[in-house]
Amino acid sequence: MQPRAGILWKSTLLPAALATAQCFGTIVVPPVTITGQKTAIEKQIIGEQTELEKDVWMISSAKTAEHAQLDTKPKEERRSMDLENAHTYRAFLKFEIFTPHLVQLKKDRVVGENNKGFVANLFSEKVQISDDMRKKYSSENADDPELGRPYRTLIQTVKEINEARLLAAKGYVENQKRANKAFKATERDILASQKDKYQQAALKGELIQQPDGSWKVKD
């Protein structure tokens, strides 16, 4: 996968996200950590999947230039731009924190890409999950400090990634409403329109949901 042009993230976006999180709400960091050494391939996959989340929403240098002129905008437009900033930076910070967990969960086939632009906990779907994974992610261990880590990671990662996608979509909607007053799509409409990008980017062996609601392993 080639680097994506126009994405301002690694050097500028994370510090801005941290500052914005302080202003607009707390980002909850999961009570678990990625442990063990990652191979070069695993690190590459995590990086590519994180970039995918950001690339879907196309934060560009042009948009950054627009926000640099914030003080010259009418009050209502400034408010819309502030909302866009708040939603987008919080979303991207969540992506940065939780995508490494998401990569492992998809690899274990306990999380998949559904047909509405969200990730799904496959324990809640009609999907066959191996006995090893059922044991690893058992809710019976939820309160155990060590054995419950995988289960807690699963629950929180699905929640945070889906919230992040909604936040990013809300930021996109604010941007489009400023450009076109007749724009009526909701954040869920936008997410549904992006589902193909997420499913196309799924790796071989990961699970994706079909239009009829069934699940298949990606070839």
144 falls within a domain? yes
**What integer is the mean pLDDT of 93-104?**
92
Q: Is residue 39 part of a domain?
A: yes
pTM: 0.73
Q: How far are the Cα atoms of 36, 161, 195 from residue 100, in angstroms, in the given order? A: 13, 11, 20
In a domain, 85, yes or no: yes
Question: Residue 2 falls within a domain, yes or no?
Answer: no
Would residue 174 count as lying in a domain? yes
* Residue 111 lies inside a defined structural domain of this protein: yes
Mean pLDDT of 75-95: 85
| pLDDT attached to residue 105 | 97
Q: Is residue 1 part of a domain?
A: no
Range of the domain at 193: 13-217
Question: How far apart, in whole angstroms, are the C-alpha atoms of residue 136 and residue 30?
Answer: 18
What is the rounded CA–CA span in Å between residue 19 and residue 13? 10
Nearest to 110 by CA among 88, 132, 92, 89: 132
Domain tally, the chain: 1
Higher-confidence residue: 147 or 25? 147
Residue 167 lies in a domain: yes
Structure-model confidence comparison of residues 58 and 86, the more confident one: 86
- Select the more confidently predicted residue: 73 or 122: 122
Say whether pLDDT at 148 is over 70.
yes
DSSP H stretches of helix in 58-205: 61-68, 75-107, 131-136, 149-179, 187-201
Q: E strand or H helix at 41, and its extent?
A: helix 40-57
